[in-house]
Each structure stands twice: as structure tokens, then as C-alpha cells.
Amino acid sequence: MSDYGIDIALIQETFLKPNRPRACTIAGYVQLRTDRTHASRGGTALYYSRSLHCCPIDIPPLINMEATGCRLAMTGHRTLIIVSVSLPSPKPLHRRDLKALLALGMPSSSLVILIVKSQMGLSRTRLQW
């Protein structure tokens, strides 16, 4: 990834399981991951370059989403919260999940970046308010 100048990569559908904690490591990058333990496939991961000032964040319990996130500190800027999110099909998108993820950036961070993967596409997903 470093050959292409990638500092942070967000991955969904990792298929990784907790019994293989060192699977899919990449030299020069820190791997954060949330493995799906209750079903096959699924899972999210985030890789960041060791040269970045990142640290993992605790993701609150979510109803239908899977997520992995980090806090990125940058000199001269406010902290960024970056979250890799997956909404497994055919589960509906819940407002509570979105609120929980957006709240990760409050009040000290200036931005929460959510990269969402859904087989259904967000435009066709039912939102549970």
C-alpha cells in the first residue's frame, strides 16, 4: 500500500476471525479490526501507516452495523475520527446506529468520516427512526 501513497485503508467484509489475530497484517501498517463472531463472512478493518499519529477508538454497541475506527491527530488541525462501517444485507439502517457513530466526534473532533459498505446500497436501505 505504501507504494501507492496510501496512509489509511478501510476494509469491509474481511472474513477474519478472532482465532487468527495476525491474519492479513501489512508491513508498515497498524491493523485494527472488528471480526464478526456470530456469523460467517463480515467484519471490518482499518489499516493506518505507522508514521501517523493514530489510536484506536472504542465503538459503542450497534444494532445492525459493524465498525472499526481510529482517532487521527494532526499538527495544526483538529482530530479526525475515521470509521470503517459495514451494514450487512438485508438489515435496515437504524438511526440509533448513525447517531452513535456520529457522536464519536463530539465535541472535540472536527469531523467524523464514515465509509459505509452495504450490499443493498444506502439509497435503497430502510431507515429505522
The domain segmentation of the chain, as residue ranges, is 2-128
pLDDT at site 128: 43
How far is Cα 85 from Cα 17, in angstroms, rounded to an integer? 17
CATH architecture of the domain 2-128 equals 4-Layer Sandwich (3.60)
The pLDDT, as a whole number, for residue 109 is 57
pTM, whole model, 2 decimals?
0.77
Give the pLDDT score at 107. 62
What local confidence, expressed as pLDDT, does residue 123 receive? 39
- All cell numbers assigned to 11: 476494509
Predicted pLDDT of residue 51 = 93
3-26 residues labelled b (16+ CB within 10 A) or e (exposed): eeeeebbbbbbbebeeeeeeeeee
| Torsion region of 13: left, alpha or beta (phi above 0 gives left; psi -120 to 50 gives alpha) | left
- Give the model's pLDDT for residue 127: 39
pLDDT at res. 126 = 41
**What pLDDT shows up at residue 60?**
92
Mean pLDDT by 10 residues, the chain (129 residues): 88 81 88 81 88 92 90 86 84 87 71 57 41
Q: Which of 52, 125, 64 is nearest to 96 (CA)?
A: 64
Residue 81 has, within 13 A of its CA and on its CB side, a CA count of 21
